[in-house]
A and B are shown apart, each in its own frame.
Chain A
């Protein structure tokens, strides 16, 4: 546990070095968020009746997504780890007397947290200052806020769990680019990052909610604005927890298996 915390701190500080990049990122995120709100506003003006959620709910969704953008990109994997697996340096890592799964897990958590820590503050500030239909509003009540927090924490752990699967799979195969982009696009689309899930056709939505990808972005953001209430809220938290346990549990087990079989050739 202490080793893991140390790892977390190290990666966090390491990534904090890139402050200029963070400012550039903030500006980019604000601009994209702004344009996206304008886009949905245009759709709202054209046909308000066809809107599956309220306009403030959509803008909340957009701004939360922009604020936490760096946290939930599935493919922002740690290049060093992939290199280690390919060039065999992973051997050194295996020797260490800690559980490698959790070490890499916290390592990724740290670098993602630091990226977001620098960026989300200013984005939130801008989003809160924007006038009502454009900006970010507070969640309707305390219950939704806590549900959001809980769901957000689970989403963070889940995305890293999925990210770990990318490392694990690269022990077995170096996935060809074609397969990678099919999986990548499916994951991205189903996480609701190109289009909020309520805007998708019915059948699509059902599939999206059952898969783990939506749980990493769409669900916490929808939770925040009070899109879910009562039973639906609990149900969604339950599905999230289910996937969290499945993804991390299976990842941990399979990685142990993979590490037993690793053969590092000479060197």
Chain B
């Protein structure tokens, strides 16, 4: 944790050296993330409801997903460059250092400009909370926080998984984007709308539904069962197998020189 804090400060300082560029990038990233929001709004303006969800309810789901994805990016975006790290032999150097390997890899890059996405998502969240017709009792707010927390951990797990694949292929695979980017972008809607089979896939294979669909049902009062609200915690458990796969990958790792 202390290490994380220090890395965070380091990135913050280095990126604040170029303030103008930092703000331009922030605005740029914010604008880029507007596209999905616009598409969702246009579709919902036309159709009003989809599978019983209204626009504010979908936006609730959207903002939770974007927030948790962005937070996960702050922890683990370093995996993006992991294939280069493996290819040019930097990983050997990392292993030699007397600090844990994982934070070194994952905190190596941190694009703080991405926080601007979280700001936008936060605004959307507040709008959605006020318009969704939900009475915000303490337990519902707790569930909402759990959703964001669980989502952050799940996406971190997916990022780790992405990096683990590089151990075996030495090449970042575009297919893996289905897991990371895909989960986010399809998770912007409650995954139940993709039908029963996809709901099962997103419950048992990648626990996206545990983070958004089931707890959302509780928040919207469609089920009184509080256990639904606790499911994000199980979704967060996804991190555990990913972590062990990472350990396995590190043990199997053979340097390919440079």
Give chain A's interface residues, CB within 8 Å of chain B.
20-21, 24-25, 27-28, 31-32, 35, 38-39, 41-43, 45-47, 50, 52, 176-178, 180-182, 184-185, 188-189, 194-195, 199-201, 204
Give chain B's interface residues, CB within 8 Å of chain A.
21, 24-25, 27-29, 31-32, 34-36, 38-39, 42-43, 45-52, 171, 173-175, 177-178, 182, 186, 189, 193-195, 198
Q: Which residues of A contact B50 (CB under 8 A)?
A: 42-43, 46-47
Instruction: Beyond A42-B50, A42-B195, A177-B25, list 10 extra A-B contacts (CB 8 Å).
Output: A24-B173, A32-B182, A38-B195, A50-B48, A176-B24, A181-B32, A185-B31, A188-B35, A194-B36, A201-B42
Counted as pairs of residues, one from A and one from B, with CB atoms less than 8 Å apart, the total is 94
Q: Is the CB of A43 within 8 A of B173?
A: no
Q: A46-B49, A177-B21 are in contact. Are A38 and B194 (CB under 8 A)?
A: yes
Q: Which residues of A contact B186 (CB under 8 A)?
A: 35, 39
Q: Is the CB of B47 within 8 A of A43?
A: yes
Q: Is the CB of B32 within 8 A of A43?
A: no
Q: Which residues of A contact B178 (CB under 8 A)?
A: 27-28, 31-32
Q: Is the CB of A178 within 8 A of B43?
A: no
- Min CB gap A77→B, angstroms: 17
Select from chain A the residue with minimum beta-carbon distance to B49.
Answer: A46
Q: Is the CB of A50 within 8 A of B46?
A: yes
Q: Which residues of A contact B171 (CB under 8 A)?
A: 20
Could you pull out 5 A-B pairs where Cβ atoms are within 8 angstroms?
Answer: A32-B182, A38-B194, A46-B47, A188-B35, A195-B39
Q: Is the CB of B35 within 8 A of A185?
A: yes
Q: Is the CB of A39 within 8 A of B189?
A: yes
- Min CB gap B164→A, angstroms: 16
- Min CB gap B67→A, angstroms: 21
Q: Which residues of B contact A20 (CB under 8 A)?
A: 171
Q: Which residues of B contact A182 (CB under 8 A)?
A: 28, 31
Q: Is the CB of A39 within 8 A of B35?
A: no
Q: Which residues of B contact A178 (CB under 8 A)?
A: 24-25, 27-28, 31
Select from chain B the residue with minimum beta-carbon distance to A189.
Answer: B35
Bound Cα distance A182, B36 (Å) = 14
- Min CB gap A53→B, angstroms: 12
Bound Cα distance A20, B24 (Å) = 36
Bound Cα distance A123, B48 (Å) = 32
Select from chain A the residue with minimum beta-carbon distance to B40.
Answer: A195
Q: Which residues of B contact A41 (CB under 8 A)?
A: 195
Q: A42-B193, A47-B49, A199-B43 are in contact. Are A177 and B24 (CB under 8 A)?
A: yes
- Min CB gap B48→A, angstroms: 7
Q: A39-B193, A42-B193 are in contact. Are A28 and B38 (CB under 8 A)?
A: no
Q: A24-B174, A177-B25 are in contact. Are A50 and B47 (CB under 8 A)?
A: yes
Q: Which residues of A contact B47 (CB under 8 A)?
A: 43, 46-47, 50
- Min CB gap A113→B, angstroms: 19
Q: Is the CB of B51 within 8 A of A201?
A: no
- Min CB gap B195→A, angstroms: 6
Bound Cα distance A181, B189 (Å) = 25
- Min CB gap A134→B, angstroms: 11
Select from chain B the residue with minimum beta-carbon distance to A204.
Answer: B42
Q: Which of B29, B49, B50 is packed against the most chain A CB atoms within 10 Å?
A: B50
Q: A42-B193, A185-B31 are in contact. Are A195 and B43 (CB under 8 A)?
A: yes
> Nearest 10 A-B pairs (CB), nearest first?
A181-B28, A42-B193, A178-B24, A195-B39, A38-B194, A24-B174, A177-B28, A24-B175, A194-B39, A46-B50
Bound Cα distance A180, B173 (Å) = 27
Q: Which residues of B contact A177 (CB under 8 A)?
A: 21, 24-25, 28
- Min CB gap B12→A, angstroms: 19
Q: Is the CB of B28 within 8 A of A180?
A: yes
Q: Is the CB of B174 within 8 A of A25?
A: yes
Select from chain A the residue with minimum beta-carbon distance to B32.
Answer: A181
Q: Which residues of A contact B45 (CB under 8 A)?
A: 201
Q: Is the CB of A27 within 8 A of B28?
A: no
- Min CB gap A199→B, angstroms: 6
